[in-house]
Structure 1
Amino acid sequence: MAEPPALDALFARLGRSVGRDLIDAALTHPSAGGPARPDYQRLEFLGDRVLMLVIAEALLNRWPGEAEGKLAPRLNDLVRKETCAAVASDLNLGAHLRMERSDSKAGGRKRLTTLGDAMEAVIAAVYLDAGFEAAREVILRHWGPRIAAQGSVAPQDPKSALQEWAEGRGLGKPVYALVSRDGPDHAPRFVIAAQLTNGAAAQGVAASKREAEKAAAAALLERLAHD
């Protein structure tokens, strides 16, 4: 198992340093973890909650007149795994992950779910190392441009958009079905099909059923837009 590069460059991009034990755990993939080397899964659990709190507060401040129904899709868009993975890519986090060589060769350092999970773990590491304000500063440093980029119209969840499209044409609610599930427990791969009563269908792939359903809905909306 190859050792990741030195952390100085990562800390510079992140905006602060983090205690060695915490950052080591945050950057350890489950394939490389064990009794003597904690992996990032527990930190990911905490980091997800810290991220949601900071982003929710930021959205309340940016959009003081918006109702909860409009704030919720904004929040979901900013904390979803794809967004976390995009921030991780900006930080070149994948290069610093400790993982088994086989996972690395299989593209694990660029895998969306891996990057998203590791990013949440890094947030938790900052929080545990230096407190909430430090975590808040790091999050707003890297999510701030994404918050600012959201326009006055809140982003719509693909499943909601597809349902509105279908019901507006008398087609009823879309149906989602699991096509396949493979991959190891720490990196599952779900394939979901979305179908309308008129036969239109498309598939989506993601690391969770929920995200795969969204991907399928988005793919079907794109197909319908070109039909």
Structure 2
Amino acid sequence: MNIKTNPLAANRLTEKIGYKFNNPDLLFQALTHRSAKGVHNERLEFLGDSILGFVIAEALFQQFPKHSEGDLTRMRSSIVRGVTLAKLAQDFNLGDYLVLGPGEMKSGGHRRESILEDAIEAIIGAVYLDAGIDAARTLILSWFATHLSTIKPGVQKDPKTRLQELLQGKKIPLPQYEVIDIQGKSHNQTFTVKCTTQMLADEVITNGTSRRKAEQAAAQQVLERIQNDKS
């Protein structure tokens, strides 16, 4: 759905994200991937990434006045990690509104976690340019309210560590991670990683803007599927 030519789609999306733009062109740019023609969202993504990190760091700094820099860093990383941003984008059905080039459309780019993650950061950058830091802060804190209210210092372990500890506790061999594809130029790559484990009958394949992010996303998916199998 192209929000530039479909006002109803634009209204639906702004209701979902909780912000109405003074300059709708900024939202359109935030949704435009570099594979499409015209102005894309890479610069907005860069800006939004920094603003997101700052706002979450500020919130944690105020929420936990007696905890160390290490605790605050781990908590911030657990909140702003790629898999969390991609899940947020999925909750907004953001993939339905992305503007992609023909190649990305054919390969399912509207579902790719790295593209969804980038779009969330680009929207934050767009909100900042549209209305300033206070508007961006308000939006971010509303999006991550549940994460901030439930997070606790000292217990933040990344998905790969949690999966490793789970398997070790069951005396099952550790998962195997394999990079099966790398796309893009050296400064802006997307890594595709395959994760296999005896805990699942089939493999898990995820994407990320670095090998580490892709592996963490894969581990998170494995953990979620194991949990779903139990329930």
Shorter chain as denominator, the TM-score bin is 0.7 to 0.9
Alignment of 1:69-218 (within 5 A): 69-151=70-152, 153-158=154-159, 179-185=179-185, 188-191=190-193, 205-207=206-208, 208-215=210-217
Distance 2:180 2:111 in 1: 22
Closer/same/farther in 2, CA of residues 69 and 120 from structure 1, 3 Å limit: same
SS for the counterpart of 1:30 is coil
Distance 1:116 1:86 in 2: 8
Distance 1:126 1:71 in 2: 25
Distance 1:81 1:179 in 2: 17
* Number of residue pairs aligned between Structure 1 and Structure 2: 210
SS for the counterpart of 2:149 is helix
**Superposition TM-score, scaled by structure 2 size:** 0.74
Closer/same/farther in 2, CA of residues 220 and 126 from structure 1, 3 Å limit: closer
SS for the counterpart of 1:31 is coil
Distance 1:82 1:92 in 2: 15
Distance 1:66 1:217 in 2: 28
SS for the counterpart of 1:182 is strand
Q: What do the CA deviations read for 1:122-157 (whole angstroms, capped 9, x no partner)?
A: 000000110000000000111111211224543112
Larger radius of gyration: 1
Alignment identity in percent?
38
Q: What do the CA deviations read for 1:171-207 (whole angstroms, capped 9, x no partner)?
A: xxx9x9864433445662333789xxxxxxx997432
Alignment of 1:22-33 (within 5 A): 22-33=26-37
Distance 1:193 1:14 in 2: 32
1:20 maps to which residue?
24
Q: RMSD of the alignment, in Å?
A: 3.5
**Superposition TM-score, scaled by structure 1 size:** 0.75
User: What is the letter of the counterpart of residue 188 of structure 1?
Assistant: T
Say whether the 8 Å CA contact 1:71–1:154 is kept in structure 2: no
SS for the counterpart of 2:144 is helix
Closer/same/farther in 2, CA of residues 84 and 215 from structure 1, 3 Å limit: closer
Q: Runs of 5+ in structure 1 lacking a partner?
A: 166-173, 195-201, 223-227
